[in-house]
């Protein structure tokens, strides 16, 4: 084999490796997002009020930044394993809450605050809450978080309703 053919083979191999890496980086290696869901009390030294809110926390673990398109998604299991979906319209008047659409750099975190009252979406039979990213993927909070929030909702509103 001549030196020219060997150099051509090595060059083609390097070019194929570069192409494969670019495809992997752009199509496969997408940012990973973690979603958490909890009940949170806002405390301010300026105010006597301490409102309780629902908090959906989204964290970007990278690599690269990502765009969240919103709105928040809801999901519930129905009869015979059919899944029903819903969307949650956020209160855009709350200055403490992040707003859709938004971008998250690696390591950034956004908090989406929602109303926590007797008539909030928790009275329905939803089982999951999540957020949609720019790749069209929906990232769901762990079911354990949703169950804990639902338990708090029942404790605050449904049990106290029977005492009145």
pLDDT of residue 23: 80
Q: Are residue 64 and residue 122 in the same domain, yes or no?
A: yes
pTM for the full predicted model: 0.76
Q: Are residue 60 and residue 117 in the same domain, yes or no?
A: yes
The 3 state secondary structure assigned to the chain is CCHHHHHHHHHHHHHHHHHHHHHHHHHHCCCEEEEEEEEEECCCCCCCCCCEEEEEEEEEEECCCEEECCCEEEEEECHHHCEEEEEECCCCCCCCCCCCCEEECCCCEEEEEEECCCCCHHHCCCCEEEEEECCCCEEECCHHHHHHHHHHHHHHHHHHHHHC
Number of structural domains the chain divides into: 2
Q: Which domain holds residue 151?
A: 31-163
Q: Are residue 18 and residue 85 in the same domain, yes or no?
A: no
- pLDDT tens-place string over residues 35-53: 999 999 888 787 777 888 9
- pLDDT tens-place string over residues 100-157: 899 999 999 999 999 998 988 888 888 899 999 888 889 999 999 999 999 999 998 8
C-alpha torsion angle, residues 145, 146, 149, 155 (rounded to 10): -120
Q: Are residue 20 and residue 101 in the same domain, yes or no?
A: no
């Amino acid at each position: 084999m001549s030196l020219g053919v060997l150099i051509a083979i090595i060059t083609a191999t390097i070019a194929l490796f570069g192409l494969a890496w670019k495809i992997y980086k752009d199509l496969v290696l997408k940012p990973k997002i973690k979603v958490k869901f909890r009940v949170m009390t806002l405390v301010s030294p300026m105010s006597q009020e301490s409102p309780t809110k629902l908090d959906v926390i989204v964290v970007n673990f990278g690599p690269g930044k990502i765009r969240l398109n919103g709105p928040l998604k809801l999901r519930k299991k129905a009869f015979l394993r059919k899944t029903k979906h819903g969307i949650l319209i956020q209160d855009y008047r709350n200055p403490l809450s992040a707003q859709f659409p938004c971008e998250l750099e690696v390591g950034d975190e956004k908090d989406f605050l929602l109303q926590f009252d007797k008539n909030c979406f928790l009275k329905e039979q939803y089982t999951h809450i999540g957020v949609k990213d720019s790749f069209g993927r929906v990232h769901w909070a762990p079911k354990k978080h949703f169950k804990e929030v639902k338990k708090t909702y029942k404790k605050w509103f449904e049990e106290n309703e029977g005492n009145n």
